[in-house]
Amino acid sequence: MSRSVIIEEAGGPEKMKLVEVEVGEPGPGEIRIRHKACGLNYIDVYQRTGLYPLPLPHALGMEAAGIVEAVGEGVTHLKEGDRAAYAAVPPGAYCDVRVMPAAQVCPLPDGISFEEAASIMLQGMTVEYLFHRTWPLEKGQTVLFHAAAGGVGLLACQWARSEGIELIGTAGTDAKCKLALEMGASHCINYRETDFVPEVKKITGDKGVDVVMDGVGKDTFDASLDCLKPLGMMMSFGNASGPVEPVSLLTLASKGSLKMTRTTLFTFLADHDRCQAMAKHLFEKVESGDVKVNIGQRFALEDIAEAHRALEARETTGSTIITL
């Protein structure tokens, strides 16, 4: 038996229930993994609220780390007793133990703890694909990154510094801006006190940035387009403030022949080999010291509703761990 967090209907944090479920043996292409720590991410909120609909009832949670207990037929990259971590579908990571598809579960190096792994798989591989697989970023280019003191943002600040990329961050308090700067941002703008568009133009000598990476969505999207230089790339990868309204192609033309993409991590992770390569790249960044894991807060599994409330209220910094 295992504890598991489920929803039977979409809604607020109170809709989540902690229940006991029976866990069986893995079938072909599956593993059974006993979790040591789970991660918390905004996609969990989207699924809970119904913005990203799930067939109900459904378990929640997208990332975790632990020890492989059993391996099904055809699984060759993992074995019983292996340390492993993942960000993967289907949701169901908020639990003690589960059976799941093995393809997107990745061997975890001994030098990275379970808590560290659970805090960086989804966020870290998001940064990996934004910087290396969406548009070819080069040393010396400039990036505007919103929510730079969040879990993804603090990893992006460090990643940018390690790649020689100038990252301009935004955050909602001076303390969060200070943290982003300490982690590698070249500049950070307190968007509650300063209009970030003229500030970005000032920092870039009125040229604008090469790329915007925006996980905030509705509140920042339109203004972000005004921060791009001609031929710049808008990467929208999240909706923390709500989904982005439809955009006219003529708007992109009038603002300088801009490019735009709406990405999701799980499109990149769907291919087994690419997923494993992305995780390996992330682990190399962590083990080299280029990227340091920042766990800002921890919540017990039975306090999952409180964790969701803190995340939605933007009261968290860095990554959040669910302890078991």
Token pair in block for residue 202: 């000032």
Tell me the residue length of the chain: 324
Please identify every stretch of the chain with a pLDDT value under 50, giving residue numbers as ranges.
none
Task: Look up the pTM and report it.
Answer: 0.93
CB 121 within 8 A of CB 86: yes
Per-residue model confidence (pLDDT) at position 193: 94
Distance, C-alpha 24 to centroid of its chain: 30
CA angle 27, 282, 42 (to 5 degrees): 75
**Residue 58 — φ and ψ, nearest 5°?**
-150, 145
Q: In sequence order, which residues have a C-beta less than 8 Å from that of residue 186 and are 6 or more positions away?
A: 160, 166, 167, 168
Phi, psi of 242, deg, nearest 5: 120, 160
> Tell me: the pLDDT tens digits for 268-322?
999 999 999 999 999 999 999 999 998 989 999 999 999 999 999 988 888 899 9
The pLDDT, as a whole number, for residue 243 is: 84
The topology under which CATH files domain 135-262 is: Rossmann fold (3.40.50)
Domains of the chain: which residue ranges?
2-123+266-323, 135-262
pLDDT of residue 233: 98
Q: In what order do the strands lie in the sheet with 16-21?
A: 16-21, 2-7, 58-59
pLDDT at 10: 97
| CATH (residue range 2-123+266-323) | 3.90.180.10
